[in-house]
Structure 1
Amino acid sequence: MKPIIAEQGEAVAERSTSVRWALASLSFSMLLPSLGTSIANVGLPALARAFAGSFQDAQWIVLAYLLAITTLIVSVGRLGDMFGRRRLLLIGILLFTLASVLCALAPALWLITAARAVQGLGAAIMMALSMAFVGETVPKAKTGSAMGLLGTMSAIGTALGPSLGGVLLAGFGWPAIFLVNVPLGAVTFALAYRFLPADARIGKTQQSGFDMAGTVLLAATLSAYALAMTIGRGSFGPLNLALLAATVCGVGLFVFVEARTASPLIRLAAFRNRRLSASLAMNALVSTVMMATLVVAPFYLSRALGLGEAAVGAVMSIGPVISILGGIPAGRLVDRLDAPLVIAAGLATMVTGATALAALPGIAGYIAAVAILTPGYQLFQAANNTAVMADVAPGQRGVISGALNLSRNLGLITGASVMGAIFTRASAAPDIATAGAEAVTSGMRITFAVAAALITVALSIAARACRRGTPKNSDGR
């Protein structure tokens, strides 16, 4: 009897170790895409100087990456569901790593931009499939903790990018901000190859009929929206309006095609699940507000509060540090309590934080407000991700995870453009970079009053979704 018990104990311990290493590979798969975004932003001035390009030319290094992620993240999630998530995740890690090498070796700015688009494809695969893998590697009772860990790793990547990029630029030049991804990518690939569970046998019916028409339509529609939100730096002209009109037409055409396709990219019936639709809408609204803090804060801290560059960087790092510290505890709280309750608590906390940003004066007021807003965001993110992914059918995990990441990316794009435009208009200054302290403070207050209203809308969506309930399955049946 004792040898049997000992063998069982060893098996449990071995499985526990394997789960931890599998989570480590998924954590790196979440860290690398966020690091790839934030570290490149720091290098834009150096790249513009190195290739004698304009700042607008250099901006496409970031834009190409974000566009690739935004337009492809749902499609790659669907491909993972059809052909195997482990196989596709390994391909994504390899693409991201090789594209990083190409970025570092590229002799021209346009080649860097093209390589960044390929890197964005790899990042889209990693982001879409990392959360989808949680259901296959972690017991359901620990899903919240796992989601909190992935959110923490994403925050670490975002926080680490500016500081690490600055050190690498000063010590080794701009190629180093891309080459740093190579050893990290190699470690991620090795861990994923060794510890992620093998793909289950997929039947021919699941492999057949990839929705190419829907994929192209969705990519074109999302590209039109992303460009409408980014071209003109928040100033909406005729081209922006035309792109928005194309987006609306694209959405209608996409719905028409998906309703008549035998193997649709997105099963529209899934959105009859009110909880899923509500979660995606809330995710977009919350991401819009969080991006507003990144857009508005540098101008407020420097122009209104008179802080130097180093002090601005230090104060802005407070939010990411809180995210790093709060992600795992937030996930554990989700495991102990119902996810809808934690979603409501997180949103209520965010309303308080956004209101504080609009009302509290001075540096102490800003820090206090961020210290309220950020934990609320971590609670919402861990609970919302868990609520969306907990009961998704195995064959839909990739596409639903992709839709969740897509809603976040659309919120980030909207926050950068629309909330930035609100800040500029509310400041009533011809150039926000040279605006006076009073104008910037006024813009800050109005922007975050709007932000508080957006989170209040998200809170009302959460309350309505809880009252109505939700169907049992993610496909709406």
Structure 2
Amino acid sequence: MATVNDQLPTLPSGRPRGWAVLHQERPRPERIRTRPWAWRLAVATVCFGAFMGQLDASVVTLTYQPLGEQFHAGPAAVEWVSLSYLLALVALLVPVGRFSDAHGRKLMYLYGFAVFTLASAACGLAPGLGVLVGFRVVQALGAALMQANSVALVTTSAPAARMRSALGMQAAGQAVGLALGPTVGGALVATVGWRWVFLVNVPIGIVALVSGHYLLPRTRAAAPGRPRVDALSVLLLGGATTAGMLVLSVGSGLGLPVWTAAGPALAALTCGRAFVRRQRRGPDPLVDLALLRRGGIAPGLVGGLCGYLVLFGPLVLVPVVLGRGGASALSCGLVLTALPLGFALAATLADRLLPPGWDDRRRCRAGAAGCVAALALLAALPMTPGLLPVPLGLLGIALGVFTPANNTLVMRAVPQTSAGTGGGMVNLGRGLGTALGVAAVTLTLHLAPAGAGARAAAGVLLAFAALALATTSARQPRAKA
């Protein structure tokens, strides 16, 4: 099979010429490529993207209060700063991955960095909430280009014997970004303002873009023919999820009459039904419904969705509760750090700390049970800066045990020939869970009686944790075909 670079014109030096500069991957300099540690530099570059993505995911909720004050908007409107990004990411991850298979993962990854960095600058300079939401959609396109290619670039760069180490480095980059997000975001909002939550991505992105250009390896082989992307499925999925979230936002106090939710509700049902029908009959579905009938996959995806809902719900709940009590953004960020820090520690150290005889199924059940216990504690304790880190830290540890084990069980049940589709479904579940965590907490805080919103929201999160625990009782996944 010919490589991407064999198909396009190059100069004798190996550099692309003319317009090929924009659509051909550039090789690494020979003095870097031939070094035994070149793979470490490539993986470190991918870690920039992992760090930025998780930092952005855990930092934006701390801007809700200042955004609402500056643009005179309520929580139901401000939450779309997160929802627009998450919904676009959900719709784009699978088609972007397939497009990258045909056109080069390094090239698409670098374009992702460029788009993400430019969109971050635009978000930081946005003159209004609507403009900010629009640029967040563009930012999600860049994030999709990075996320869809990150694991493939790591596995392409590292020797087979160092694969586990390389993937561990990438996971560490994600963990650091997730753990630092609340503290960095709180400090930026409290000192230089909410705009720098987005502008801080710009220097990191520039460094990563230059590094990737010189340090990432070219795609080894391109998929033959044109990429098979079902554009109609992408539009139907985006329409169903966006309309569904809009219904929740109207119920959360978006400022529109309740009856106006009827239109988006009908659109969500229509698009959702058409999407399912398309996946059954289409030649190249985004979601392979036949896979969901294999033992353990459907419960695992539901459990993964609940896990990310429970992870990101408190990132909305805690700043609102503490902000109403007069706490600063920095104080909120420091309290919130306990959650992603616990997640990061458990996800990276579970193999060393858990009993060696525990398989993924037992880890999954123990992590889900820990989530239930932590959220019950969160609902029972006073929500003060001094006490909140305890249940949040325990919740993070439990999720750090549950999530990797759950994902492993799902992917183990997926046939090797459908690994890409299975990974795409895991990403879809993660994105939908994150968006639902934001929307569910906002809706509960709006509908609950005065003074009872925080405990009601904790109760909702507890219910989803219990659902995640219930999914672990599903029958053992089958071995791969």
Q: Same fold (TM over 0.5)?
A: yes
Please tell me whether residue 455 in structure 1 is matched to residue 465 in structure 2.
yes
8 Å CA contact 2:179–2:337 kept in 1: the answer is no
In structure 2, the CA distance between the partners of 1:132 and 1:251, relative to structure 1 (3 Å rule), is farther
**Residues 78 and 398 of structure 1 are in contact (CA less than 8 Å); yes or no, is this contact kept in structure 2?**
no
Q: CA 1:114–1:307 in structure 2 vs 1: closer, same or farther (change >3 Å)? A: closer
Two-structure CA RMSD over aligned residues (Å): 3.8
Tell me the CA shift for residue 95 of structure 1. 0.9
Per-residue CA deviation, residues 3-57 of structure 1 (Å, 9 max, x unaligned), is xxxxxxxx9x955x3443333223221222343355555556666777x665677
Residues 355, 452 of structure 1: 8 Å contact kept: yes
CA distance in 1, matches of 2:419, 2:208: 21
Which residue among 368, 380, 384 is the counterpart of 1:359? 380
Q: Which of residues 163, 178, 181 in structure 2 aligns to 1:155? A: 178
Counterpart selection for 1:470 from 462, 475, 478: 478
Deviations 1:199-230 (A, max 9, x none): 2323425x354322222222222222232333
Give a deviation string over 1:137-182, Cα, whole Å, max 9, x none. Answer: 5656558735742541441353244234326625xxx654433212
Higher helix share: 1
Contact 2:296 2:413 in 1 (8 A): no
Match of 1:4 in 2: none
**Residue in 2 that maps onto 1:6:** none
Alignment of 1:70-469 (within 5 A): 70-104=90-124, 110-137=130-157, 139=162, 141-142=164-165, 145=168, 148-156=171-179, 158-166=181-189, 169=192, 176-205=196-225, 207-233=226-252, 237-301=258-322, 308-309=327-328, 311-330=331-350, 338-361=359-382, 363=384, 366-388=388-410, 399-426=421-448, 428-429=449-450, 435=451, 439=452, 443-444=454-455, 446-466=456-476, 469=477
Q: Given the two structures, how large is their TM-score scaled by the length of structure 2?
A: 0.77
Aligned residue identity for 1:28: F
Q: Tell me the CA shift for residue 407 of structure 1.
A: 1.4
Give the Cα separation in 2 of the matches to 1:292 and 1:470: 32
Closer/same/farther in 2, CA of residues 154 and 227 from structure 1, 3 Å limit = farther
Deviation at 1:88, TM superposition (A): 1.8
Conserved in 1, the CA contact under 8 Å of 2:309 and 2:433?
A: yes
Work out the CA distance in 1 between the residues paired with 2:173 and 2:373.
25
* Between 99-108 and 378-387, the greater mean CA deviation after superposition: 99-108
Distance 2:390 2:260 in 1: 41
1:266–1:399 Cα contact (<8 Å) kept: yes
- SS at the partner of 1:73? helix
What letter is aligned with 1:472? K
Question: Does the C-alpha gap of structure 1 residues 365 and 465 become closer, same or farther in structure 2, counting only changes over 3 Å?
Answer: farther
CA distance in 1, matches of 2:102, 2:274: 24
Cα distance in structure 1, aligned partners of 2:208 and 2:417: 25
Percent identity between the two aligned chains: 28
Take 1:61 and 1:299, find their aligned partners in 2: how far apart are those partners?
15
Distance in 2, matches of 1:462 and 1:147, equals 27
Alpha carbons of 1:454 and 1:147: their partners in 2 closer, same or farther (altered >3 Å)?
Answer: farther
* Aligned residue identity for 1:221: A
CA offset at residue 375 of structure 1? 0.3
- Is the partner of 1:415 in helix, strand or coil? helix
Deviation by residue 1:404-424 (Cα, 9 ceiling, x = unmatched): 232122222222233443455
Query: What is the CA-CA distance between 1:256 and the residue it aligns to?
Result: 1.8
Report deviation, 1:187: 2.4
For the Cα contact (< 8 Å) 1:349–1:373, is it kept in 2?
yes
Going from structure 1 to structure 2, the CA distance change for 1:107 and 1:328 (only over 3 Å counts) comes to same
Q: Which moved more, 1:35-44 or 1:352-361?
A: 35-44
Deviations for 1:336-370, whole angstroms, at most 9, x for unmatched residues?
Answer: 65333322221121122112222345756543322
Q: Does the 8 A contact of 1:141 with 1:335 survive in 2?
A: no
Q: Is the 1:285–1:411 Cα contact (8 Å) retained in structure 2?
A: yes
Conservation of the 8 A alpha-carbon contact between 1:31 and 1:157: no
Which piece of structure 1 moves more, 223-232 or 181-190? Answer: 223-232
Give 3-state SS (helix, strand or coil) of 2:220's partner.
Answer: coil
Is 27-36 or 188-197 further displaced after alignment? 188-197
Shift of 1:472: 0.5
SS in 2 for 1:259: helix
For 1:393 and 1:132, locate their aligned partners in 2 and report how far apart those are by CA, in whole Å: 18
User: CA separation of 1:120/1:162 partners in 2, compared to 1, >3 Å: closer, same or farther?
Assistant: same
- AA aligned opposite 2:186: S
- Where does the alignment leave 5 or more consecutive residues of structure 2 unmatched? 1-31
Question: Secondary structure of 1:456's partner?
Answer: helix
Q: Is 2:360–2:409's contact at 8 Å kept on the other side of the alignment? A: yes
2:26 equivalent in structure 1: none
- Check 1:335–1:81 CA distance in 2 against 1; reply closer, same or farther (3 A cut): farther
Secondary structure of the equivalent of 1:204?
coil
CA offset at residue 123 of structure 1? 1.4
Contact 2:84 2:133 in 1 (8 A): yes
Sort the Cα spacing of 1:395 and 1:83 in 2 relative to 1 into closer, same or farther, 3 A.
farther
Instruction: Indicate conservation of the 8 Å contact 1:65/1:119, yes or no.
Output: yes
The CA distance in 2 between the partners of 1:45 and 1:247, in whole Å, is 29
Residue pair 2:85, 2:136 contacting (<8 A) in 1 also = yes
